[in-house]
Amino acid sequence: MKIGFLIITYGDTYLQNCINSIHKFYPDMPIYIVDNKQVHQKYINNNNNISYSKNDINNYELGAIWFALKEWKDVNKFIILHNSMELINKLPECVFIDEYVPFWTARAIDYSPTVPLVENMLSTINLKLNNNNNWESVCGCCCSINTNILTIMKEMNCDKLFATNKIEAVATEILFGYLIHNVLNIKYKNKLHEFPLYEYISSPGKVERVYTMIKKVGSGQGYNLNKTVLIPMNISNKIFEIYNPLLSNNTNLINILQQVENNKVLETFLLTSLFYNLHVNNNRLSNILHSIRHRMFTKKYFYNDYLIEYNDIITKKKLIFSD
């Protein structure tokens, strides 16, 4: 079986460190690099067991995986990393033996607003999203995976599914998990890290998890909502009737969430404002509305989970804001 590390890179920042970390523990293992052409990158000679190929366009992580499958047909297993990742320990044997080992996973429900994109992508290859069935995403599409699994996906035309922007890139992590877990029904026996990747990435005021096997350098990919939508007057007036600046964010969230739950106009507006910043002249209220919008997508796609979370929020068993 031919096994190799697949590095998905968006430029040469951190890339050499990633390569060095692999060579430290696995000096003889092949490395395959897909340059996603996000920025100009130095050419890497095909030596020291390193194979390099430039993708013509940036199709982000999932597109790079399809590109690698086509480019290096003799590889039986890819161990998929980003250029901003480094090995800090030797990997467990399951990474090389199991047919599929995710490195980090996250609940799809935690990314509910991206599920419409997943649903749309699936529809283009005549697959239907099964609602109310939570699954695990593959953070960054990083995993070890046998290429025969990827080949089966390709035969289902899944190689036509990839991202063209950062919002879609986040959705393809959710999509990749759906294809593996829900379409092919592959159940992993081992996972490299216990928590989602975002829990390991540092941010101001946050206590992050400690990396044990693979470390990500820098911040997460994330995405920015560059467009803003104005909230219609009839809706904003209703919200401002409920919002009380003297109350905590969590209490305001509860009050507005209860109103949205019983108001189809409010709920519909939030669902149709996907990928837009909700413009109100109040940052606290804006954060609350974005949080509620997330819950409306959870309600649409994961209704049973929504009912549980809704009850936990209303009873203050679950606090969304740190107030």
Ordered mean pLDDT values, 10 residues apiece, the chain (323 residues): 94 87 96 77 62 86 96 97 96 98 96 96 96 92 98 98 92 97 96 92 70 82 63 84 95 95 91 82 90 96 96 96 85
In DSSP terms, 99 is beta-bridged to none
Q: Judge whether 320 and 313 are in contact, CB under 8 Å.
A: yes
Give the model's pLDDT for residue 274: 80
Tell me the domains of the chain and their CATH numbers: 3-216 (3.90.550), 228-314 (no CATH)
pLDDT of the residue at 40: 47
User: Residues 68, 51: contact at Cβ < 8 Å?
Assistant: no
pLDDT of residue 202: 67
Task: Provide the token pair at 233.
Answer: 């007057």
Q: What are phi and psi of 53, to 5 degrees?
A: -145, 140
Supply the pLDDT for residue 44. Answer: 57
Closest residue by Cα to residue 5 from 73, 54, 75: 75
What lies within 8 Å, CB to CB, of 174 at 6+ separation is 108, 111, 114, 115, 118, 137
